[in-house]
């Protein structure tokens, strides 16, 4: 097990909460309730590439928990310096002055910038399923019925690296 896992799972859980609040609740042609699906998501996903003047900090699968914390602290400090509150961030029209400091995972950067993202997502899902983990693509995100246990999350990370590279 790696030292970054607790924070990585916390970030993953946060993503799941975001999707649970916004998810559609379908799995292929099977009907499922919105609350029955866990997905990995980011708060700022777009349909196509949107290069920025400064790339956002990247959280790779091998990034230590200390480094992840340092990256998130920098983002939080920027928000505080701009007087941005949690309530402001939760509004639909939030214009994030610190977006270039917001850490993102390799797959999230690919979703934001790589036209081949959907193909890579399918490869990620195929790899995960080959490892015996129930996962699928839903609305451009990786989805699980529930989060896999820690020992299976390592395989999810390996499959992410295989599909998207290490960043």
Rounded to a whole number of angstroms, the CA Rg of the chain reads 16
Q: Does residue 86 belong to any structural domain of this protein?
A: no
CA distances (Å), origin 115, targets 22, 29, 65, 108, 110: 23, 25, 30, 12, 8
Q: How confident is the model at residue 6, as a pLDDT?
A: 39
Residue with tokens 């993953």: 12
- pLDDT digit string (tens) for 58-85? 999 999 999 999 999 999 999 999 999 9
Q: Does residue 85 belong to any structural domain of this protein?
A: no
Q: How confident is the model at residue 37, as a pLDDT?
A: 52
Q: Does residue 97 belong to any structural domain of this protein?
A: no
CA distance 99 to 54: 10
Q: Does residue 80 belong to any structural domain of this protein?
A: no
pLDDT by residue, tens only, the chain of 167 residues: 344 433 344 344 334 333 333 444 443 444 444 445 555 554 444 444 444 446 899 999 999 999 999 999 999 999 999 999 988 888 878 899 999 999 999 999 999 999 999 999 999 999 999 999 999 999 999 999 999 999 999 999 999 999 999 88
CA distances (Å), origin 21, targets 25, 27, 35, 36, 110: 10, 16, 9, 12, 23
Q: Does residue 93 belong to any structural domain of this protein?
A: no
CA distance 20 to 77: 27
Number of structural domains the chain divides into: 1
Q: How confident is the model at residue 74, as a pLDDT?
A: 96
Domain that holds residue 134: 5-65+103-164
Q: Does residue 127 belong to any structural domain of this protein?
A: yes
Q: Does residue 81 belong to any structural domain of this protein?
A: no
Contact predicate 19/41, CB 8 Å: yes
Q: How confident is the model at residue 40, as a pLDDT?
A: 55
CA distance 69 to 64: 9
Q: Does residue 50 belong to any structural domain of this protein?
A: yes
């Amino acid at each position: 097990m790696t030292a970054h896992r607790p924070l990585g799972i916390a970030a993953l859980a946060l993503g799941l909460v975001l999707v649970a609040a916004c998810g559609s609740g379908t799995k292929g042609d099977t009907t499922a309730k919105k609350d029955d699906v866990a997905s990995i998501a980011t708060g700022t996903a777009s349909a196509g590439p949107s290069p920025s003047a400064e790339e956002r900090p990247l959280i790779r699968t091998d990034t230590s928990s200390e480094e992840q914390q340092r990256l998130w602290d920098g983002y939080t400090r920027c928000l505080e310096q701009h007087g941005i509150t949690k309530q402001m961030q939760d509004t639909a029209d939030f214009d994030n002055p610190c977006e270039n400091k917001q850490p993102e995972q390799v797959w999230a950067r690919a979703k934001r910038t790589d036209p081949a993202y959907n193909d890579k997502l399918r490869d990620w899902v195929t790899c995960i399923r080959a490892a015996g983990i129930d996962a699928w693509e839903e609305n451009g995100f990786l989805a699980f019925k529930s989060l896999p246990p820690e020992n299976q999350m390592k395989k999810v990370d390996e499959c992410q690296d295989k599909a998207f590279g290490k960043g």
